[in-house]
Structure 1
Amino acid sequence: MIAWFRTRLIARILIVLTTVVLLIIAGNSVIQLLNTKSAVQEAISNYNMDIAENYVTQIDVNQYAEFVKDPQENELYWELRDQLDRFRLSIGAFYVYFVQIQIDQPPLLLIDGRPKGDPLASPLNEETDMPQEAVDLVLSGDRASSDLIENPEYGDYISAFVPVKDAAGNVIGAMGIDTDASVFSNLTEEVIRKSLPLYAIVLVFALAALALILWFVSRALRPLQTITGSANLMAGGELAAAHTLLVQQPVKSKDEIGTAYAAMMQMSMHLNDRVRGIVQRVSVTSDTLVASSTEFQDHASEMLKMSETVSRSIKHIYDGAYAQTQSAQDNAMAMEEMAQGIIRISVSSSAVSEAAIQALAKAESGKSAIHHMNEQMRGISESAGHTLTMAHQLKGYTGQIEGALSSIRDFADQTKLLALNASIEAARAGEHGRGFTIVATEVRKLAEGSASSVEQITALLVHVARESARISDQMDAAAREIREGTQLSDEAESAFTQAVTSFRLVTDQIMEVSATVEELTAGSEEVAATVSSMAGIASEVSGQTQSIQELTSIQLQKMKQIQEGSEALSDRTAEMREALQQVKV
């Protein structure tokens, strides 16, 4: 109920006006009642004072002056009392009495106008409840009256007093008349009862005025419903319906409500025009944004697929690099063993040379040694052939790695291009694409890091290829030397039995072979060092490839975030279009 009154202005105005009117009527009634009581009391007091003054002019004041000199219950007392009683009965008063008044002395009741033996009669010289103001007025020669006196012994009454003067004009007392309060109440009720029709007429006029005011206020506030309804429609986005409502229910008054209606109408027109333009522009922008977000989402999906492909390729490269590292380590161990064999050959060649110089007599044993040497040379020739084949294979692997790195370089370039496209699309998206700009920048940095790592690996592979080519050349030379040594050993073995006299020449050849073997030893050591370097390079390539794989994994995660962001952008754009469709202009 309270909430209903809070939402109804006319109801609150009705309550306020009704309360004010009722308060005015109640206040006026109370004032009229008080005035009536005061008027009745004043009329009674004036009537009693007039009667008392009239009675005082008819009595023998000398008797009262004589009695005041010696107040006793004598014949004069009873005579005066009987006179006052007859006067009381004739005027219908409650009490009629004579009071002695002296300056600086309390007023004393000397004669009470009640019949002899009346229990309500006051005794001689009883102190009265005459107000001091009345005493002062009587002493000054004026008449006086009191308000309603409530006496628990004699009841409630209203008193009127007039001065009683002797022949010399001195105030010797006061003649008092008390009227019963019931008479006052009856007169007051009678006056009020006769005034009730007037009060009813006033109430009717007040209610009629209240109804007229309510009708006027209701009619004046009726346009507020139109303004409120239009405002509610505007709040709900129904701008066209709000404007139509204002046009269909115009307000022609020039007061505050009419001014509010005119302002509402002007606001509706301007708001319709501006919102219509905004909605049209935002609709075009949202359509463009939808197309851009869709295209961006497609690009993000393609970039994600390409990143997944690059990640798989880098994984294959890493596996190949790891296998190459293991193969290079195995080659290094084989080259070390071959170097040890060549060293042993060098030692044997030296021993053969010394034996040929010192022991011609041991030609047969030398022949066996030469035969043994021939067999070792064949083994060396086979080992050199295998080493040469492995060097050629290593060179071929280097070419394959260069091809794979070229593909990685292409992937990195394409990733940078896609990151640039993503940055452009994010810039077009404005505030919604700020997060995508950061992600695109990180992707571009990763692509640039991948390209830099590929360039480093390419440089290392060029160095490896160059060293492999030099090893291959040296191995070719070593193989030729070994073949020549083998051929010479065969010739020496076949001719040893036939040309002992040519032993010195053979010895020289053996010394030459020994020198060649020493050179071969030095070359094998260089080959072993080169193969070890290649193993280190292959290990470094494997580490770099692992780093590329990790960066590619990070790049793949970023691309997934870009794709998720593009999907979120597409969803937000669709929500914006739905919100725009709810605004009707």
Structure 2
Amino acid sequence: MTIKAKLILLVVLAGAATVGTSLFGIYAELKGHELAEKNHELRIMPIDHVGTSVQLLNQMTTQSLLALQHDPQGRTAAMHAHGIDQHMDIIRDNLAALEDVNAKIAAIKHRQTESNEAQQALFATQEELVNVAFVPLIEKLEEGNFVGAQALLILTLTEVLPSFEQAASHYEGILRGNMEEELERTSERVEQDVLISIGITLLNVLIIIAIAAWIIHGVTRGLKAADRFATNFAEGNLNEPVTLDSRDEIAEIITHMNTARESLRDTLKRIGEASEQLASAAEETSAVSEQTDRGVARQMQEIEQVAAAMNEMTATVEDVARNASDASSSAQAANDSAKHGQTILGNAVNAVGILSDEIRQSSDTIDSLKAESEEIGKVLDVIGAIADQTNLLALNAAIEAARAGEHGRGFAVVAEEVRALASRTQGSTEEIHGMIDRLQSRSNAAVAAMQRAHNQVDHSTQAMSETEAALGEIANGVNGINDLNFQIASAAEQQSAVAEEVNRNVQTIAQISEESAQGATQTKTASAELARLAEELQARLAGFKL
């Protein structure tokens, strides 16, 4: 059993003993309280009730005597400032109270026959006293028969009242005797309970002491085993294990300590083997350190050459970056010129487009003029036909006038004038028709010229558009060149920065090489110290019994 379980058992038993003792004490106290309540209920309370009954009857007797003093025939009636009803009310109230007290006494049932008989005797004498003395007395007083009431009080009440007082005294004496006997029994029970509680407490203490001694014995055995282990460990003896035939926590600790001893023993063995290997490795490390020292020296020479080459490469990269920057500036200027030329060509293309539109409008106007001249020619043809008809009519009129002789002379003159006018009209019409023919011929020539000019303008516009596109491509190409130059410059700057970083790294490597050389020297020294420590470690391990 583990120490924890033992301690839990000890605590549980101690707690159970404490609880058991407390419960027994509580039981004994409750039992005593119960007995006291019974004693109070069965003996003390009846004694009190009997006393109350006697007191009520005595008070009724007193009030009866006071009521008799209210006799009008007597000399004492004038001495009372109150009426007889006051005394009668008190008597009646006492009778009612007496009935309540009798009910309480009757509710008490005694175990002893003597007590019950005394109780019944009390009730009998009390009933006789009330029925024979006080009830008739009250009736006579109510009737005003003071003489009869006084005779009844003197003869009957004085005779029955002592019997009641004797019965009450006898019943009270029996109750007091029973109470004393019960008190003695209660005292004996309390003493018995105290002895039982002491016995239970002593038994619990003995059990707890036995369990505590058992626990202490187990712990002491475990501590002695641990002391043997510590003594062996202090002496360097790791061969002898320590055993403990128990199942508590100390046994587990001893088991773990034995496991640790075995682990330490194996570790020390491995340390011994490792120390031998360490001594051999220290010698090899010393030789390697010498080779490292020589290699670091060669490395420093090569690093110096690399540093010189990096300086030259840095200067070359700076030249490339500078030339790339100049080329980028020139490409930017060419790009600006190409964009300016492209803008001028765009403006020229727009102007030629406007000229083409105006030529097209002029050609349309000439076409309209040609059509209108043709309409005029048609009108002139109509006018010519009219002139021919007029001339023919004038000729006919002249012939008719010649036939008329003298009568037609005036008509012949008019006809001649008409014919002359028709001839001039025909001539003018022919001249106008010639002019219109010439106008149409020239209009056709102008339309053809306009068409050729329009075609030439279209060719020029197309050529300018192609030129503008070519300039755009040139600008784009220049932009590409400019971007490439910028990338070349950026790459050159980055390469320059990288070269400087490499140069710094080379210098750092050179510094590290120097430190490595110093470290190689220190390693050599440390290897010698390590070999010495390995020998010392082997010497110390020899002090353990493995």
TM class, shorter-chain normalised? 0.3 to 0.5
Name whichever structure is richer in strand by fraction. 1
Give the structure with the larger helix fraction.
2
Rg comparison, structure with higher value = 2
Q: Which has the higher contact order (CA 8 A, sep 6+)?
A: 2
TM-score w.r.t. length of structure 1: 0.32
- Alignment TM-score, normalising by the size of structure 2: 0.34
